[in-house]
């Protein structure tokens, strides 16, 4: 941990939109900025209101946000980045990591990684027309991590604000071991400031990864923060988690603030309930008997009861350790 160490909130589509970002920031600290879940490129200026609202600076007072763009059309990319620039943004992020089959099949997200020449052509057409800075979020490759060797040559030939690396391949999606050997082997060849994204869930995992990559100062936290909202404070050594009452108070505040934010964002009770359930597939990990808790909540179909129940859990149920543990989302 040095004075240069910074934590950035990862884009997690369906989770780290503005409701979460603002609720989290009203209770917890230690995040420098967030990258938004991706905005897919559209025709002209036909963007969904929800996507625009999500990144609008006035809706992101507590944590500044860098908008992320998904697509492979440089002309559309320029149009969207001009719109974003007019809203006051100075940097946009390009998503070259999304592993979803339907997206990758169209050479978008991680689907572009096996085609370094195409990537170069797009950047050749994009960069000269871009009047804000570009950062890229990439994986090591789509099929295999050796694709990274050619990708580095392309990335190195363009000015990038930063290169965010999730050291898996597209076909791995979010599971299986990260392929750290290739990143270790190539890291000194990369000319851009690097942000590491993947599997930082506690002090132990952060210790291991940061020891392996002493040249990295910026770390992205994703699922780890859903499973443990204290994570940045723990890693920055800014919190003492020995007052159980205080832990419960903060979690309670967070749960209710998240509910409040989501309710203001989507109207229908059914949607609000489903959204809260999605979050609780990670929040159940706050407790010792997480599996049991998750199962009992999955069956709730009344929003008011759901919120009462979760608040009682936070007040009374046995907590798990926030100092060290994983981030495995619970599934029915």
Ligand X SMILES: Cc1cc2nc3c(=O)[nH]c(=O)nc-3n(C[C@H](O)[C@H](O)[C@H](O)COP(=O)(O)O)c2cc1C
Query: Is position 12 an interface residue for ligand X (rule: CB under 6 A)?
Result: yes
Query: Is position 170 an interface residue for ligand X (rule: CB under 6 A)?
Result: no
To ligand X, the closest distance from the beta carbon of 10 in angstroms equals: 4
Contact range with ligand X by CB under 6 A, out of 10-18, 71-79, 205-213, 295-303 = 10-18
Strand partners, 112: none
Whichever of 5 and 249 has its CB closer to ligand X, that residue is: 5
Euclidean distance between CA atoms 208 and 203, whole angstroms: 9
Among residues 262, 264, 235, 233, which one has the least CA distance to residue 250?
233
Q: 167 and 213 in contact (C-beta within 8 Å)? A: no
Which of 81, 95, 169, 281 binds ligand X (CB under 6 A)? It is: 95
Contact range with ligand X by CB under 6 A, out of 118-126, 193-201, 228-236, 284-292 = 193-201
To ligand X, the closest distance from the beta carbon of 205 in angstroms equals: 9
Contact range with ligand X by CB under 6 A, out of 9-17, 53-61, 153-161, 300-308 = 9-17
* 36: Cα separation from own chain's centroid: 7
Burial-class residue 147 by CB neighbours within 10 Å (0-12, 13-18, 19+): buried
Whichever of 242 and 332 has its CB closer to ligand X, that residue is: 332
Per-residue x/- track, 212-231, ligand X (CB under 6 A): ---------xxxx-------
* H or E segment to which residue 313 belongs: helix 303-316
Query: Is position 198 an interface residue for ligand X (rule: CB under 6 A)?
Result: yes
Query: Is position 183 an interface residue for ligand X (rule: CB under 6 A)?
Result: no
Contact range with ligand X by CB under 6 A, out of 186-194, 195-203, 204-212, 275-283 = 195-203
Pairing type for strands 39-40 and 6-9 reads: unpaired
Would you tell me how many other CB atoms lie within 10 Å of the CB of residue 120? 17
Among residues 51, 156, 73, 72, which one has the least CA distance to residue 114?
72
Which residues here bind ligand X, judged by CB under 6 A?
10-14, 37-38, 68, 95, 97, 137, 166, 174, 197-200, 221-224
């Amino acid at each position: 941990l040095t004075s240069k160490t910074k934590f950035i909130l990862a884009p997690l589509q369906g989770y780290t939109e503005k409701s979460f970002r603002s609720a989290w920031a009203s209770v917890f600290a230690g995040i420098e900025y967030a990258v938004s879940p991706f905005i897919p490129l559209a025709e002209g200026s036909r963007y969904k209101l929800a996507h625009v609202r999500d990144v609008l600076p006035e809706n992101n007072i507590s944590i500044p946000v860098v908008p992320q763009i998904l697509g492979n059309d440089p002309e559309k990319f320029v149009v969207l980045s001009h719109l974003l620039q007019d809203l006051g943004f100075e940097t946009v992020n390009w998503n070259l990591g999304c592993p979803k089959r339907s997206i990758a099949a169209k050479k978008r997200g991680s689907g572009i990684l096996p085609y370094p020449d195409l990537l170069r052509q797009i950047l050749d057409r994009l960069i000269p027309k871009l009047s804000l800075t570009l950062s890229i979020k990439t994986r090591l490759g789509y099929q295999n991590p050796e694709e990274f060797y050619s990708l580095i040559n392309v990335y190195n030939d363009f000015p990038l604000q930063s290169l965010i690396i999730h050291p898996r391949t597209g076909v791995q999606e979010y599971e299986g071991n990260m392929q750290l050997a290739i990143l270790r082997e190539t890291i000194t060849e990369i000319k851009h400031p690097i942000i590491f994204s993947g599997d930082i869930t506690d002090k132990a995992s952060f210790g291991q990864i940061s020891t392996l990559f002493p040249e990295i100062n910026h770390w992205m936290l994703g699922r780890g923060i859903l499973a443990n909202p204290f994570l940045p404070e723990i890693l920055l050594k800014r919190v003492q988690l020995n007052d159980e009452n205080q832990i419960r108070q903060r979690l309670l505040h967070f749960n209710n603030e998240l509910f409040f934010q989501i309710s203001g964002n989507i109207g229908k009770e059914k949607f609000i309930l489903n959204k809260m359930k999605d979050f609780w597939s990670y929040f159940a990990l706050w407790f010792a008997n997480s599996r049991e808790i998750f199962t009992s909540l999955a069956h709730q179909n009344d929003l008011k009861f759901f919120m009462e129940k979760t608040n009682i859990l936070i007040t009374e149920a046995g907590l798990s350790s926030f100092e060290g543990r994983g981030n495995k989302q619970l599934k029915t």
